[in-house]
Amino acid sequence: MKILIAGGCGFIGSNLSIFLKKKKFKILSIDNLSKNYCLLNEKRLKYNKIKNLRVNLLNKKKLNYIGFKPDLIIDCAAEPAVEVSSKNPDAVVENNFNTTLNLLSLAKKHNSKLIFLSSSRIYPINKSYEYFKIKKKKYFDENITDNGPRSIYGFSKFASELLIQEYSYAFNIKYIINRLGLTTGPWQFGKVEQGLVSLWLWSHYKSKNLNYIGYGGTGRQIRDVLDIDDLCDLIYKQIKMSNKIYNHTFSVGGGKESFFKLKELTKFCEKITKNQIEIKKIKKTSKYDIPYYISSNLKVNKFYGWKISNSLEDTLNKTFFWMKKNNKLLNKYFK
């Protein structure tokens, strides 16, 4: 099977490309290397005998003549930082929605299947606040259809989901949509805007200051966390069963087995790195931040028998091992 991975030099795309190459698929990555760490990931792909085309996915003409007819397209390409929405909404919509549109056009041309990596941020912000106030744990599943603001980023991913469904109806494109919570692991270069878990761990390792931002600076926000290896395992299962299971949307995350309060993440990082650092309080809450998100994995477990195999502590331990092993190299990419 020939697989085209859009955004193949990003965190998820590069790990997925290497994982699937080891499963004997023919992989082509497309990435224009817009982030500084993408060049490093391109070298990782090259080492694993995976070619990356430095093509901008917004360039529809070049995309349609890449000389590769994929059986499957995996769309990992996006501007993933939610807060960028308020600073540059045009770029977020262009990089997230329009690139998916061009990939759908390519799928139509070659009759390719599509796996789209969506986001937990397609759920309205008010729903997160509603669940946060309930004492009993509530989980976000595929059936939540509430309206309300999502952030421009969340809108762009939700709009892409709807567009995929329209293309499927009109042109018989078979698709899978995975709505991902926080995903982390080795080769993620976390920033304040995106990549919370790896940023938190690196900052403890290097004794850099951090901030509890929003909600009174208390660190009580709740998130679940998905290990990149568990995600790769799921997508491999989805590929193998793509002739039987398609045109479905799945909530995919750490779920009830792997979630944390931000304060608890701090304790984990202190334990693993044996460092304590100063964490300041910034009380003001961004209008785009959410207090609570935990995925429901019931549907994806029912369809694929998939469960996470890595706890938060497992993921932190192997990520920390990667950080120590590549210490000098990583100083350039963590800011």
pLDDT in tens, 88-121: 899 899 999 999 999 999 999 999 999 999 999 9
Q: Tokens for 154, please give them.
A: 């969340």
Say if 319 falls within a structural domain.
no
Residue 127, C-beta contacts closer than 8 angstroms, at least 6 positions apart: 140, 144, 146, 148
Say if 50 falls within a structural domain.
yes
Query: Out of 46-55, 123-132, 147-156, 188-197, which region has the weakest mean confidence (pLDDT)?
Result: 188-197
pLDDT classification of 141: cutoffs 50, 70, 90: very high
The total domain count for the chain is 1
For range 243-269, the mean pLDDT:
97
Residue 287, CA distances (Å) to 132, 214, 223 in order: 16, 10, 17
Distance of alpha carbon 35 from the chain centroid = 15
Residue 83's pLDDT is: 82
Residue 81's pLDDT is: 80
pLDDT classification of 239: cutoffs 50, 70, 90: very high
Q: What are phi and psi of 218, to 5 degrees?
A: -95, -15
CATH number, domain of 56, equals: 3.40.50.720
Global pTM value: 0.96
Place of tokens 């331990």: 317
Say if 261 falls within a structural domain.
no
Residue 335's pLDDT is: 66
Does residue 190 carry a pLDDT above 80? yes
Residue 281's pLDDT is: 96
Say if 131 falls within a structural domain.
yes
Q: Tokens for 272, please give them.
A: 């693993």
**How large a percentage of the chain has pLDDT more than 90?**
90
CB 166 within 8 A of CB 327: no
- Name the helix (H) or strand (E) containing 253: none
Say if 136 falls within a structural domain.
yes
Strands (E), the chain: 2-6, 26-30, 51-53, 72-75, 113-119, 175-180, 182-184, 210-213, 222-227, 248-252, 259-261, 279-282
- The maximal CA–CA distance of the chain, rounded, in angstroms, is 56
- Domain enclosing residue 181, as ranges: 2-185+226-254+292-309
Angle (nearest 5°) at CA 40 between 39 and 43: 90
Say if 333 falls within a structural domain.
no
CB 181 within 8 A of CB 252: yes
Residue 257's pLDDT is: 95
Residue 115 forms beta bridges with which residues?
A: 74, 176
Say if 21 falls within a structural domain.
yes
For range 63-74, the mean pLDDT:
95
Compute the distance between CA of residue 331 and CA of residue 335 in angstroms, rounded to an integer. 8
